[in-house]
């Protein structure tokens, strides 16, 4: 018998999404302390939904709970970036390849790319870029593969937010996104997958050049 996930109470969900948005758009920075009483006052709730939201965010890897330091936004370093992007390199191009081969609609990806191009600020562009990538892999036909990529999605966005704050590379990535989508829309599954692999690998190489290479880069596949 399949178990049904316990729904998150609405107040907790609001707090959860609010904190996540602040982290992924840079309003809350890596290493910053997250104080329950302060967050409760900001969101107009008791400490209980804040505590539950922080527990959930800890499970996704966006925050760290420490017995002595309390709760902080997760620090991003080269090793963490490589771990997250290694998973993406292994799974995301294959998911896109499958999406293209099964003739899945990529309208959502095209819409997300348009929103990113028209974004008024960094936060809006970042969210649109995340939706672009998700729209490529989600229709792959394997729900488990989609969920696995969703699990690292927030951590990947945190890595990107930190890298962009130090060295914005929006225009280059937008150009790469357009090429990936062009190949996918033309039905070139392998070409789109290769372009996506190169896009992911080059970003982490630029942002964290001193990190250990991923397994795929060591094998010469990047």
Per-residue pLDDT of 154-192, as tens digits, reads 888 888 877 776 666 778 889 999 999 999 999 999 999
Please report how the helices 36-43 and 47-60 are oriented relative to each other, as an axis angle in degrees rounded to 10: 110
The model's pLDDT over 15-48, given as tens digits with 9 standing for 90+, comes to: 999 999 888 888 898 899 999 999 999 999 999 9
To 10 degrees, the CA torsion angle through 78, 81, 87, 93?
-110
d(CA 99, CA 105): 8
Q: In the block, which residue shows the tokens 């290479």?
A: 213
d(CA 110, CA 124): 16
């Amino acid at each position: 018998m399949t178990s049904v996930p316990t729904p998150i109470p609405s107040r907790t969900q609001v707090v959860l999404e609010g904190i996540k948005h602040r982290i992924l758009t840079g309003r809350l920075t890596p290493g910053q302390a997250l104080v329950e009483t302060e967050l409760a006052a900001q969101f107009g709730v008791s400490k209980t939904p804040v505590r539950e939201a922080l527990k959930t965010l800890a499970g996704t890897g966006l925050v760290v709970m420490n017995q002595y330091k309390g709760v902080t936004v997760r620090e991003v370093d080269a090793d963490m970036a490589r771990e997250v992007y290694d998973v993406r390199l292994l799974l995301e191009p294959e998911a896109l390849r499958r999406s293209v081969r099964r003739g899945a609609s990529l309208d959502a990806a095209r819409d997300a790319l348009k929103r990113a191009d028209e974004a008024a600020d960094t936060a809006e562009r970042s969210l649109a870029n995340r939706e672009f990538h998700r729209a490529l892999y989600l229709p792959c036909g394997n729900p488990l593969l989609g969920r696995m990529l969703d699990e690292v999605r927030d951590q990947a966005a945190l890595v990107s937010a930190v890298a962009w704050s130090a060295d914005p590379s929006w225009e280059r990535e937008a150009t790469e996104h357009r090429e990936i989508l062009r190949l996918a829309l033309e039905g070139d599954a392998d070409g789109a997958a290769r372009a996506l692999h190169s896009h992911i690998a080059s970003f982490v190489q630029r942002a964290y050049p001193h990190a250990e290479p991923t397994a795929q880069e060591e094998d010469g596949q990047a």
